[in-house]
Amino acid sequence: MFHISDVKKYMRCRRLYCLDQFAERKPFHPFVRLDEQVSDLVAKKLGVTDPFIGSIGDDAGKAMAAMEDHDWLIKARFEYDRLRVKVPFLHRNEDGWDLYFMFIGLFPHHNDMLFYCSMVWVLDHLDIKLKNMYVVHLNSEYVRQDELDVDQLFIVSDCFYNGKNNPTMPVVKAVRSKMQNIQPLLAEMEAGFDEIPAPVRTQHCTGRQKCSYYEECFPQEIAQDDNSILTLIGAQHRYEMQNDGINYLKDADEKRIEGSRQQYAQIMADRQGGLYCDKLALQSWLKRLKYPITCIDFEWERYAIPPYPGMHPYDVLLFEYSIHIIHEDHSVDQKVYLSIHDQREDFARSLLNDIPKEGTVLAYNAEGAEKIRISELAETFPQYRDGLLAINERMEDLQLPFESGMVYDVRMRGQWSLKKIMAMMDDPGYQDLDIQQGMDAVFEWRRLDEAGELDDSDPRVQELKDYCGMDSYAMTVVLEWLYEISR
Ligand code: SF4
């Protein structure tokens, strides 16, 4: 028996599907926090009464039998030809049934049609007459008050949305136009494999999310030199060039590169012995920084369903910051703030208090993170708006010299994350920390938050402070290095 997730995996990559059969199941930590039983909330929204509620392991005939004497079915399990599906909501509509898909996001686009079509394919083959189809999704404009209002929280849409998030094709039409017979595919999956298929590089290997087997599939890539042509950022023809014997950045074929500033910096770095620095541009950028320079880093949790007043679906809750203040005499002060539950107002007040009233505020990826978070705080707490927005006006992005191609060191291997750059420095940096990644910090905080009290003797408190503190400390080290190479 297969589930839709198996079919999707199989379609993505046969090898991935096989490897996953033998892989040890790891605990699943969602990137977005979802504490509520969404189907219970949607049931309220839809006004469901006296439903049949399916469970894991239900016999395939149980839901079919329940259709005789229930008008609503929730999470009912149906099976046809080895494919088992969990149908979110079915509602009797005269001589047929209305199907409600659930999308725990803001705008369902018609880009996951295998999921929708597989479910309908099973129901069609069981002779269940489907009439209307809807997608229940979260309302991006909903702002939570003291209580959660499920009527406002969800939208029941009979259309998918386009790239600009406007309603477009009706769900029924989109699904019906993409229906295909998946029987041959299921038969192929059932037949299995004599051996694990060899890796074949496709867009699925590094697409939206890098495949977890990438290193296993392409170990030769990990072993590449720092100045390998494969590190050329955004180069569509890098594998082609390598196959033609062009192994290093310095030898890149000018006719087969896109010619971005980053690529220029990479090629020049290799030609100049490993480091490229556009000194004039870097000096000009560094001149904009004024002491005291405050390096800041935030940590936050993202919630699908807003848990606190004033929050929209998928809003974030700031819970930690670390700042390193570099004074003109090069002395450095550090401050860390950590809270659990909803302390946004205290966070805003404390931030205003801790950041000096003058000088530059520096963040890594400021435009994509800290500036946005500060603007959100300013909107939520208008009483602190002016002070918070003044911080944004003084903010510079430490990522800029790297992402704009002012600076490149081949040891960056085509990446410019703070950790990657820090790894080049003569500093133990992140190596000794218990928490190594931003999402690990969030998972640790989730446990603290659920425990209900912020106990300083809990080792997780210090681990979280160390991790966030390392980000703002790393910025001071990287900044110092930029000053050095600009001279
Ligand atoms: S890295 Fe590519 S080839 Fe390897 S399992 Fe993943 S998707 Fe398949």
Choose one of 8, 12, 13 to mutate for the ligand 1 pocket test, by most ligand atoms within 8 angstroms of C-beta: 13
User: How far, CA to CA in Å, does 249 sit from each of 139, 264, 410, 485?
Assistant: 47, 10, 9, 21
CA of 200 to the centre of ligand 1 (A): 7
Per the DSSP assignment, residues forming a β-bridge with 408 are 276
Question: What is 284-486's CATH number?
Answer: 3.30.420.10
Q: Locate the domains of the chain by residue range.
A: 2-190, 218-271, 284-486
Per-residue confidence of the chain (487 residues) as pLDDT tens digits? Answer: 999 999 999 999 999 999 998 888 777 788 899 888 999 999 999 999 999 999 999 998 999 999 999 999 999 999 999 999 999 999 999 999 999 999 999 999 988 899 999 999 999 999 999 999 999 999 999 999 999 999 999 999 999 999 999 999 999 999 999 999 999 999 999 998 889 999 999 989 987 788 999 999 999 888 899 999 999 999 999 999 999 999 999 999 999 999 999 999 999 999 999 999 999 999 999 999 999 999 999 999 999 999 999 999 999 999 999 999 999 999 999 999 999 999 999 999 999 999 999 999 999 999 999 999 999 999 999 999 999 999 999 999 999 999 999 999 999 999 999 989 998 887 777 777 776 677 888 888 998 998 888 888 888 888 888 888 899 999 999 999 999 999 9
Residue 173 three-state SS: helix
Beta strand 407-409 with 275-277: parallel, antiparallel or unpaired?
antiparallel
- Residue 31: CB atoms within 10 A of its CB come to 8
Closest CA to 9 of 23, 24, 20, 22: 20
Task: Specify whether the CB–CB gap between 294 and 356 falls below 8 A.
Answer: yes
Whole-angstrom Cα distance, residue 46 to residue 136? Answer: 9
Phi, psi for residue 230 in degrees, rounded to 5: -70, -15
Q: How far apart are CA 150 and CA 390, in angstroms?
A: 37
Ligand 1 centroid distance, CA of 212 (Å):
8
DSSP annotation of 437 reads S
Please give the torsion angle defined by the CA atoms of residues 303, 304, 307 and 312, in that order, rounded to the nearest 10 degrees: 100
- 3-state SS assignment for residue 287: helix
Quote the ligand 1 centre to 138 CA distance (angstroms): 32
Assess whether the C-beta atom of 217 lies below 6 angstroms from ligand 1.
yes
Determine the distance separating the centroid of ligand 1 and the alpha carbon of 184, expressed in angstroms: 23
Whole-angstrom Cα distance, residue 70 to residue 87? 15
Give the number of the atom of ligand 1 that is nearest the alpha carbon of residue 199.
3
Among 226, 209, 205, 208, which residue's Cα sits nearest to residue 217? 205
Does the beta carbon of 15 sit less than 6 angstroms from any atom of ligand 1? yes
Q: Please, what is the end-to-end C-alpha distance for the chain in angstroms?
A: 66
Query: From the CB of 465, is ligand 1 less than 6 Å away?
Result: no
> Among the atoms of ligand 1, which is closest to the Cα of residue 217?
4
Q: Is residue 199 lining ligand 1, measured as CB closer than 6 Å?
A: yes
In angstroms, how far apart are the furthest CA atoms of the chain? Answer: 81
